A and B are shown apart, each in its own frame.
Chain A
């Protein structure tokens, strides 16, 4: 199972998807580490959400690369999509609660809306490779 997932999700277009995920995982982790260690009290909610987003990106990157199961990959991309939609909406409605931006504020507008597109591509890619995988197996 793990080998099949590896072969199917980390080759072809998936390779590129994982690369973009990896960059976001690295950037979000570094950014969140700096925020929490240097100025946590300025915007605790935003910085905690940044840290949460960083964890989600790291898990999604590893899951898409086939390190953990496909179910966890689906879960990570699903949480990521829910996160960017909920936090994106919340950042527009409750402006006061977000004195500093998170990666998901304004639906990822500060990052060219890549955070909004990425989980959709991730879920589509998992579905695509999942179908191919089950066809080969059956």
Chain B
């Protein structure tokens, strides 16, 4: 668990979620044809790259430590966070209405929740 990376990913995920929420409220679909949605796509890709890096580093770290940890659940959350975002993004792109942006907001919000759980497990409470 790299604390700096986890915090950075939380911030980026919250920014992407807020951005998606604004698009949803403004009734803009995620089309990849307008600048705001392209910018959002860039942030989501960046977030996904970070989540994949976190998954690799996290698995290596959790297998290398001697501490008493719930390893299986920890690895589950590491992979879950990296998998949910692309699935949510594709599901969002298939919907040409504001609800597509809503889907992306939910997918992005699930990332900080999973990072929170990762932190709890890494600290030994959970």
| Residues on A facing B (Cβ under 8 Å) | 11-16, 18-20, 22-23, 26-27, 30-31, 34, 37-38
Contact = CB atoms under 8 A, between A and B. Distances in A.
A23 B73 contact: no
Nearest to B74: A34
20 contacts: A11-B97, A13-B99, A15-B92, A15-B95, A15-B97, A15-B103, A16-B103, A18-B91, A19-B91, A19-B107, A22-B91, A23-B84, A23-B110, A26-B80, A26-B84, A27-B80, A30-B76, A30-B80, A34-B73, A34-B76
B102 interface: yes
Interface string B71-88: 011001000100110011
B110 A15 contact: no
B43 interface: no
Contact of B99 (A15, A23, A31): A15
Interface of B: 72-73, 76, 80, 83-84, 87-88, 91-92, 94-95, 97, 99-100, 102-103, 106-107, 110
A15 B84 contact: no
Given A11-B97, A26-B84, A20 B73 contact: no
Contact of A16 (B84, B99, B110): B99
A14 B110 CA distance: 18
A16 B109 CA distance: 13
Contact of B72 (A14, A19, A20, A37): A37
Nearest to A12: B99
A34 B88 CA distance: 23
Given A20-B106, A26-B83, A11 B72 contact: no
A121 B103 CA distance: 16
Contacts of A27: 80
Given A19-B103, A26-B80, A26-B83, A31 B73 contact: yes
A46 B76 CA distance: 19
Given A34-B72, A34-B73, A16 B97 contact: no
Contacts of B94: 15
Nearest to A111: B113
